[in-house]
């Protein structure tokens, strides 16, 4: 056993059961790793994370509007520099209101028509 490891005795725990899953390819083009928490509104992550479709087409950040990582609550995903990741996203639950963070949504994610910053001002290329 690894110190701090938790071993569960019983059936596997299923998270986000029944929620639709969106798959994106994400690349960190920055010069340092980026870590994103389980319930962070993925459309507002660091500008160094660029989004691509499964067929490698660039996507705008609005592709992740209203979505969060499909990982266990309280955990995080680390995106290393110059590395691609296929990630799964699920819809935010509850009232679906995103206050604060980077201020790009600052309210309800449903019916919000303004575009989320697509990160192109960083000059980053894949």
Segments making up each domain of the chain, as ranges: 22-118
- 3-state SS assignment for residue 43: helix
Instruction: Answer yes or no: are the C-beta atoms of 65 and 99 closer than 8 Å.
Output: no
Secondary structure (DSSP) of 3-42: TT-----SSPPP-STT---EEEEEEE-SSS-EEEETTS-G
Most confident of 69-73, 112-116, 122-126: 69-73
- β-strands 107-108, 97-98: how paired? antiparallel
Q: How is domain 22-118 classified at the architecture level of CATH?
A: Ribbon (2.10)
Cα–Cα dist 45/67, whole Å: 11
User: What's the whole-model pTM score?
Assistant: 0.79
Q: Token pair of 104, please? A: 């790009």
Residue 112 binned pLDDT confidence (cut-offs 50, 70, 90): low
pLDDT above 70 covers what percent of the chain?
88
């Amino acid at each position: 056993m690894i110190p701090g490891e938790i071993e569960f005795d019983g059936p596997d725990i299923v998270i986000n059961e029944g929620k639709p899953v969106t798959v994106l390819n994400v690349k960190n083009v920055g010069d340092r790793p980026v870590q994103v928490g389980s319930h962070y509104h993925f459309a507002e992550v660091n500008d160094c994370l660029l989004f691509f479709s499964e067929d490698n087409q660039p996507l705008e950040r609005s592709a992740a509007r209203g979505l969060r990582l499909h990982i266990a609550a309280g955990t995080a995903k680390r995106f290393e520099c110059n590395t691609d990741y296929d990630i799964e996203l699920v819809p935010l639950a509850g009232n679906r209101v995103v206050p604060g963070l980077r201020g790009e949504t600052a309210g309800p994610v449903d019916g919000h028509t303004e575009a989320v910053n697509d990160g192109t001002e960083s000059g980053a290329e894949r």
